[in-house]
Structure 1
């Protein structure tokens, strides 16, 4: 906990509904001093810059080095997030409350403005002195949206686990993942959004000691698109040595785009904008560029550019750069339920409807009946809709998680820990059950439903233990590493979480050659 003697002694009126004046404090970076604030025993710094401007002629290029400043930079309010659609997850009544742990000030704290100039990060720490594990959160939202603001809510995780927590904002969508190297030598180094993450990790290496963190003990973690970004970072030479453990949550991205396909996408973008010269892309207003750019997970993302990303990431083998990095990998039971709310029929399937739905997602006709029979035998109390979401998850996120773990283990130089989150949340009247990202807020000690308090403590404790030692085991919850012979997996659930050897073995074997090709 921060003591009064560590405070700078000034007071600041914070606009983000903290209810009263807040104590402020200052920290030193290699670029200049920053001023943060104290909230419930946690020092919070928001909008600390880690790179230069990214608009105008700097658009689509690797991040520029940050320039030093004089005086004290105010880092008490939100920074810009990358240009994206309006709103955020916290404006949603049910999902927003779940992710904020029910905090009444969530919408205000999470309010961020869009900008191309978005290279900033948040730091939350129990004290400015010490040598704590550093947990760097890389946000989801595919490669198109989101921000690192969730870390600002996670004061309980920071205090209880005595860790330093960092959340990164970086370039996304058309600004961070347009590949122009096939059209101009100027842009031969691609993946600027990924290189932003590298720059942020360099900032952590150079500065986090001044915030009570250990630059030699950095863990990166992220869900969904965040896990996909981490899967890619593990194959990037420029990221080597900047982190020491990684947790990939429902985001095991096995392959990224090739340069040829990415170049075709760039040409399509220029046609939409009526441009003939690649140089004119830097003159397009940010709002117009965003509207014209691709949005979906399958349309935007990293590319093998032969420079920042020299080769394919996890296919056919794990990247050699990842060989010595302990990994924690897993997913949620009902990944696609959240995204199916607009398709009511999927929540009221009968047996005939289940068969039809599975055929629509390319389960081979000659195997669909055998597959349904197996799941009905293994889960006799579940209805056809439950089985649909379970099967689609097992073919998607879980297949990817297991495949990533298997390929990492082929190198046999670092341990892998596999998990499966299957608590059925009460969210949306229990309709979406263990939905995509359901584990994430609990990992950060954000608990909307009191019955999940113990489960949250277990998740938070496991992630912090992994950050601290490379092993997620904790008192009362022993978590053996995953091996090809035993395949021990931690099942997170209520009333009890436990490690089980090769759970759902029959389903894994049946589905091993018919993946969906989706992250969900």
Structure 2
């Protein structure tokens, strides 16, 4: 009998330990998460009321409180959108108009009031695609490394960015998706201490449309005091990357989509009709204008706002990828012909020996104009007022060789340290298993991001190459590539000076 009891006890000891489900008290009620190893997650927490019915095309409304414990163990729907199959970060939910939810990862051991750094992720996708559910956006490894991580959904497409004369009581409409982001940060301020996070140490970061959203948060008076550091990944800053119509221009697009309708009729439109086929592939078609200058969220172009001193004076990391472009053509004569009287200089900078492939030329010319030069301009403008750190991510897998470097969004699995769940990179990577040097790049990149969130300096905690702050006339950049990281004279300086001259001449 004693031997039997011993065997039962020994067998029990060898079973995996199952941690008790964690709970947290939010202002609307208790949420019950799940635990895996040293990290606990709380998925699908509502931060605003469903933006449906009378709440469609209104600012986010308060969440209705609930009784008992709300299960928070699965992602809520990402926001309504049309499919975009080439997406390098595919969503894993069925999209819905009811989508204003966020997710929290925390170290399991962190108790309420632990004052850990908080990182809030805002996804990209051209303001028409994306969500918080993609596998590479898991906050597990940020929580593993001592941060409380939050990812959010925000309204997309016409649900998120829409103006129409029928919405006169809403100021004709506007940037509802941006208002969602601000509401999510207000939720973080009110609730994150219950998860062990410090509401006084919040880093907000995003890529592409998420990076462009960082410019909004930095300049909007509505967002003041809701964050303390910002990371801008491929966020542009000039109108080439993100044309910004006025509300009147956006309302004209709204009328083209739904002529003659009043507010009630607009809100009665089927969700599928509002979504339509709007995606990253079709977003330039009539009837959609995207984010607009509204005087509340967006006040103007990022470079202009940074130079005018209207940005929140917090530490900023800003940068882009080495092949961060979207070529409109791969015909070099077409690409260079568009430069007009500057064609000869453009050829000398981007194709000096005539042997660079058309795809690489299309990528480099568009990358400089859309993301790389604007990042440098923003860094230079902010440097005299606040700690600013300029980077360029240059690690590129062999599959990206024809593009000439690291393409748009390719830094994401390295930032999140999730190369093991990256997938096929939107169809470009045949064998997604991590390469040996990728693990090293991911470890380094992720460590810079975590250190910045903790301290406001990406190299503050040692063990990584030094990363000096930018200056007002900076010609250096922190380059992260297969060889590691180093602060070097920018190899793109001549190209970027050319892009800057063209941009400011047109401005």
Q: Specify if TM > 0.5.
A: yes
**Per-residue deviation at 1:440?**
1.2
83, 88, 110: which one pairs with 1:86?
83
**Per-residue deviation at 1:263?**
1.4
2:182 counterpart of 1:202: no
Aligned to 1:389: 363
Pair 1:154–1:323, CA change in 2 (3 A) = closer
2:462 counterpart of 1:478: no
Residue-pair matches, total: 462
Could you report, residue by residue, the CA deviation over 1:21-52 in whole angstroms, capped at 9, with x for unpaired residues? Answer: 88522111121110111123210111001001
Aligned to 1:277: 262
Q: Is the 8 A contact 1:154 1:444 kept in 2?
A: yes
**Per-residue deviation at 1:226?**
0.6
Could you report, residue by residue, the CA deviation over 1:131-166 in whole angstroms, capped at 9, with x for unpaired residues? Answer: 11111000000111110124763423321x311111
2:293 counterpart of 1:312: no
The secondary structure found in structure 2 opposite 1:490 is strand
The secondary structure found in structure 1 opposite 2:390 is strand
2:442 counterpart of 1:456: yes
Pair 1:247–1:432, CA change in 2 (3 A) = same
For 1:205-284, list aligned pairs within 5 A.
205-255=189-239, 256-271=244-259, 275-284=260-269
Aligned to 2:373: 399
The secondary structure found in structure 1 opposite 2:48 is coil
The secondary structure found in structure 2 opposite 1:194 is helix
Pair 1:463–1:171, CA change in 2 (3 A) = same
**Per-residue deviation at 1:389?**
2.2
Aligned to 1:13: none
**Per-residue deviation at 1:371?**
2.6
* Cα distance in 2 between the residues matched to 1:232 and 1:391: 26
Pair 1:22–1:336, CA change in 2 (3 A) = farther
Aligned to 1:415: 387
Pair 1:73–1:479, CA change in 2 (3 A) = same
* Cα distance in 2 between the residues matched to 1:79 and 1:25: 19
* Cα distance in 1 between the residues matched to 2:435 and 2:48: 39
Q: Is the 8 A contact 1:120 1:169 kept in 2?
A: yes
280, 285, 291: which one pairs with 1:302?
291
**Per-residue deviation at 1:502?**
4.0
* Cα distance in 1 between the residues matched to 2:216 and 2:174: 13
Q: Is the 8 A contact 1:158 1:165 kept in 2?
A: yes
**Per-residue deviation at 1:461?**
0.9
Taking structure 1 as the reference length, the TM-score comes to: 0.81
**Range 73-82 or range 474-483, more displaced:** 474-483
Aligned to 1:434: 406
Could you report, residue by residue, the CA deviation over 1:167-220 in whole angstroms, capped at 9, with x for unpaired residues? Answer: 001111100100236851334563111111111001111111111111100011
Q: Is the 8 A contact 2:44 2:101 kept in 1?
A: yes
For 1:62-141, list aligned pairs within 5 A.
62-86=59-83, 95=88, 110-127=91-108, 128-129=110-111, 130-141=114-125
* Cα distance in 1 between the residues matched to 2:121 and 2:85: 17
Q: Is the 8 A contact 2:339 2:346 kept in 1?
A: no
**Per-residue deviation at 1:112?**
0.8
Q: Is the 8 A contact 2:292 2:298 kept in 1?
A: no
Q: Any stretches of 5+ residues in structure 2 without a counterpart?
A: 1-15, 420-433
The secondary structure found in structure 2 opposite 1:322 is coil
**Per-residue deviation at 1:62?**
0.2
The secondary structure found in structure 1 opposite 2:258 is helix
156, 181, 186: which one pairs with 2:170?
186
Could you report, residue by residue, the CA deviation over 1:83-142 in whole angstroms, capped at 9, with x for unpaired residues? Answer: 1113666xx7xx4xxx6xxxxxxx8xx521221111100111113422111110000001
Q: Is the 8 A contact 1:180 1:263 kept in 2?
A: yes
CA RMSD of aligned residues (A): 3.0
474, 482, 491: which one pairs with 2:479?
491
Q: Is the 8 A contact 1:47 1:120 kept in 2?
A: yes
344, 354, 357: which one pairs with 1:369?
344
Aligned to 1:8: none
* Cα distance in 1 between the residues matched to 2:84 and 2:237: 26
Q: Is the 8 A contact 2:325 2:365 kept in 1?
A: no
